[in-house]
Amino acid sequence: MSRSSLRKIVEASLSRRLLPDGGFVGRLGGTFQVDSTAWGMLAFRACGGSDEILERLRALLAREQSGDGRVCVNRDHPASYWPTPLAILAWQNSPASQVAQNRAVRFLLETTGSHFPRNPDAPWAHDTILKGWPWIGETHSWVEPTATCVMALRATGYGQHDRVREAIRMILDRQLPHGGWNYGNTLIFGRELHPMPENTGAALTGLAGVVDQEKVARSISYLQGEVDRLRTPISLGWGLLGLAAWDLWPSNGTALVERCLANQTRYGDYDTSALCLLFLGALAGEPNTKTALFLHSSRNQAPAVLTQ
Amino acid sequence: MSDHMDPTSTGGLTRRDLLLAGAAGLLIGSGLLLVPRRYFRMPQQAQSFVTKVAHYQLDIADAITRGIRELGISPEELKGKRILLKPNLVETASGASHINTHPLVLRGAIEAFLRLGASTVMVAEGPGHRRDTLAVYEESGLADVLTEDRIRFHDLNYITGYELPNAGRQSSMRTLTFPAIFQEVDWIVSVAKMKTHHWTGATLSMKNLFGVMPGIYYGWPKNVLHKSGVENSILDINATLKPHFAIVDGIVGMQGDGPIMGDPKQVGVLVMGRSLAAVDATCCRIMGIDPYKISYLERADNWLGPIGEGSIEQRGEAIAAVRTNFNLIDTIPAQQGIRLT
């Protein structure tokens, strides 16, 4: 699959999922979904989509934002604010979206997961005080939402903020002793839990450029060892993004993406968020990728805020 | 947790509750209010069916069909019904197929329900640990089976939800959000795995229903439920959803540090029934665990179903004929002192 054919596939897939009134559906034939719209915008921008459409989408996403800046799965579930960092990335480089983006950034900086003092007798091993971000309000901080918040805040110039520094420490603290990350527990009752490629990819993407490679070398090795067997879009998408962020996008990455796309005959059409994540992972293999998720790799030297 | 409701509260008042409240008033001062609440409940009755299935290559569809019939469920009751099977898919690891409900148990259940007249059978799950549901679906081997059988699989983690008032009212959650697809089915069947658990002692058909709660509203892990109290949440979900049937895969279970890191345990049984509490109590006895020592089962007793041995009519194999004690870990509080004597 050539670069141009990949871009055509991305464009065709996204156009089938774009609603006439704007926004992306969660699944083909389904209804508008906030996270799908944010992921769709990131993929659309990464493949050079038109600014006019992007601006319409940004405005629509801003209408979904609550007064305090959060962007939720839906307004009836105000605790489900995990799409907020995705919205921040989707609004990147849009003067018209600056107010919405600033409000969302402020919300993240003022919001944290639920944390409690570390207890040496507790069955879990991680440092429960270190703050990141949760999936859902009033719950503990976990790896993937923290990684996406770090990406969003770094992209908007808050890379040195105390909350981001602490979140980076939190992600490192949740790294499994033998490498890789899972959703965010390391050891329970003294047993090391299993790593998962999607969480490992997200964590590596968030940490690229701010921690020394030796600190995550085992996790990179784990992901490199896994990537050939990844067949599904969330794992492969985050896996490719995580490796690309460290300039290690695999030489057979295109073939892996093709195989994953072909698997839709087996699984049915992928949902939009997962598909867009896969597209971003695929596009990350190209030089000078314009994706807001890459911040400081040599592939993309300048912060994303300047790249488009 | 401090702002949560009294965990012993069961919510809405029935005539029976009022009578019991009156009786309780008479008992104030006598110290009898310290007696567990289950002793004040009207006794319930249920049936559970146990059948030996030594390994997964045997005719599981026949075993399940026989069980459904033995439990008095007629083809008329199932005719034209839309059945949703909810397996236990958590995560996968090399050499650890005993983490998840075996795909051939699901194939057997699908065939049994279709044979008995169901119009459609689908399989749906929302894993709690992995956001990539399709990866668990694939790596567990379920994708091979369902693709071959042309059965649809639904990822519950991403399905838009509908809210119901929390009928259990054990936690502070006022409503529960279930996947909209549940409004399109007639029967919800928990197809669980027989496992010990490091937070709850045992995970069986009732705990399995954590997986129906969409990750988009409850997170990965479903930490909203943990914050609300794992046991409270198990009771709330079951009381609100009112699942119709349970099948527990005890052909190979998991002992020790379940639900993920434990060791395989060959038991060679399937356990099923309409009452999830009764099925789980039967499973506990097979595992050598006292169901009254499993807090959520003790609290469910004679509310969501009976767990007393005398209240469960045992069909098929006798428990004593298949009991095999699961290893318990002394250092895990939820597994301390739960051995059935």
Instruction: Please write the tens of the pLDDT for every residue from A29-70.
Output: 999 999 999 999 999 998 888 899 999 999 999 999 999 999
pLDDT at A220: 98
Interface of A with B in 52-71 (CB under 8 A): none
- Smallest Cβ–Cβ distance between A235 and the set B135, B153, B216 belongs to B135
Which of helix, strand or coil describes residue A234? helix
Q: Tell me the C-alpha distance between A201 and A220, whole Å.
A: 9
Nearest CA in chain A to B221: A183
Instruction: Residue B215: list chain A partners with CB under 8 A.
Output: 135
Q: Sign of torsion, CA B13 B14 B19 B23? A: negative
What mean pLDDT do residues B14-18 have? 42
ipTM surpasses 0.90:
yes
Question: Does residue A154 surpass a pLDDT of 60?
Answer: yes
Q: Is the pLDDT of residue B40 over 90?
A: no
Average pLDDT (B84-90) is 97
Give the pLDDT score at A4.
Answer: 80
How far does B4 lie from chain A, in Å, by closest CA?
13
Which whole-number Å values give the CA distances from B209 to B9, B157, B205, in the listed order?
Answer: 21, 13, 7
Question: pLDDT digits over B100-141, tens only?
Answer: 999 999 999 999 999 999 999 999 999 999 999 999 999 999
- What six digits make up the tokens of B261? 């890191």
Cβ of A187 under 8 Å from any chain B Cβ? no
pLDDT (0 to 100) of residue A39: 97
Q: Which fold has domain A3-26+111-299?
A: Glycosyltransferase (1.50.10)
Model pLDDT, residue A291? 55
Residue with the bigger pLDDT between A91 and B21: it is: A91
Q: Residue B1: pLDDT above 90?
A: no
Second CATH level (architecture) for the domain B44-335: 3-Layer(aba) Sandwich (3.40)
Task: Give the range among A14-23, A47-56, A57-66, B1-10 with minimum mean pLDDT.
Answer: B1-10
Of residues A135, A138, A232, nearest to B134 (C-beta): A232
**pLDDT in the model for residue A302:** 34
Q: Across all residues in chain A, what is the average pLDDT?
A: 92
pLDDT confidence of residue A122: 92
Alpha-carbon gap, residue A216 to A207, rounded angstroms = 9
Contacts of A135 in chain B (CB under 8 A): 215, 219-220, 223
The predicted-structure confidence for B194-247, as pLDDT tens digits, reads as follows 999 999 999 999 999 999 999 999 999 999 999 999 999 999 999 999 999 999
Mean pLDDT of B298-312: 97
- When pLDDT is cut at 50, 70 and 90, the band that residue A15 belongs to is very high
Tokens 């156009």 correspond to what residue?
A: A15
Asked whether residue B62 carries a pLDDT value surpassing 90, the answer given is yes
- The more confident residue out of A306 and B230 is B230
The residue extents of the domains of chain B are 9-42, 44-335
- Is residue B290 scored above 80 in pLDDT? yes
Rounded percentage of chain A residues whose pLDDT exceeds 70: 93
Is the pLDDT at A128 greater than 90? The verdict is: yes
Query: Which residue bears the tokens 């399937």?
Result: B270
Closest alpha carbon to B155 in B187, B123, B188, B202: B123
Residue-level pLDDT at B215: 98
**What average pLDDT score do residues A80-101 get?**
97
Residue B209 in contact with residue B230, Cβ under 8 Å? no
To the nearest whole Å, the CA of B210 is away from the closest chain A CA by: 16
pLDDT at A117: 92
Q: Flag whether pLDDT at B322 surpasses 50.
A: yes
Residues in chain B within 8 Å Cβ distance of A134:
219, 223
- pLDDT, one tens digit per residue, over B163-178 is 999 999 999 999 999 9
Residue A171, pLDDT above cutoff 70: yes
- Partners of B190 in the beta sheet? B86, B246
The residues pairing with B165 across neighbouring beta strands, listed in sequence order, are B175
pLDDT at B20 over 90: no
Q: Considering only the beta carbons, identify the residue of A80, A134, A267 that sits closest to B223.
A: A134
Which residues of A, range 141-160, sit inside 8 Å of B by Cβ? 142, 144
| Residue A289: band (very low, low, confident or very high) from pLDDT cuts 50, 70, 90 | low
A127 closest CA partner among A171, A163, A159, A162: A171
What whole-number distance in Å separates Cα of residue A177 and Cα of residue A193?
Answer: 9
Question: In B239-255, which positions are buried (b, 16+ CB within 10 angstroms) versus exposed (e)?
Answer: bbbebbbbbbbbbbbbb
pLDDT at position B32, please? 55
Say how far apart CA B166 and CA B47 lie, in whole Å.
Answer: 27
Nearest-CB residue to A231 (from B138, B257, B261): B138
Q: What is the pLDDT of residue B41?
A: 86
A289 or B20, higher pLDDT: A289
Mean of per-residue pLDDT scores for chain B: 91
Q: Which of chain B's residues have a Cβ under 8 Å away from the Cβ of A33?
A: 160
Q: Which residues of B fall below an 8 Å CB-CB distance to A? A: 91, 93, 129-132, 134-135, 137-138, 143, 147, 152-153, 155, 158, 160, 163, 177, 198, 215-221, 223-224, 226-227, 257, 260-261, 329, 331-332
Dihedral Cα B16, B21, B22, B23, nearest 10 deg:
90
Report chain B residues whose CB lies below 8 A from the CB of A191.
257, 261
Residues 10-29 of A with CB under 8 A from B: 26-27
Q: B130 to chain A: nearest residue by CA?
A: A183
Closest-CA residue of B relative to A34 is B216
What is the predicted pLDDT for the residue at A5?
86
Average pLDDT rounded to a whole number, residues B151-159: 95
> How high is the pLDDT of residue A49?
87
* Structure tokens given for A182: 């899972």
CB contact, 8 Å: A139 with chain B?
A: yes
The two structure tokens encoding residue B150? 């042309």
User: Chain A: residue nearest B219 by CA?
Assistant: A135
Chain A / chain B CB contacts < 8 angstroms: 104
pLDDT mean over A78-87:
98
Is B182 in contact with B84 (CB distance < 8 Å)?
yes
Contacting A residues, span 232-291, partner chain B, CB-CB under 8 Å: 232-235, 266-268, 271, 273-274
Query: What's the confidence (pLDDT) of residue A72?
Result: 98
Report pLDDT for A285. Answer: 86
Mean pLDDT of A162-172: 98
pLDDT digits (tens, 9 = 90+) for B207-218: 999 999 999 999
B288: which 2 tokens? 């050598």
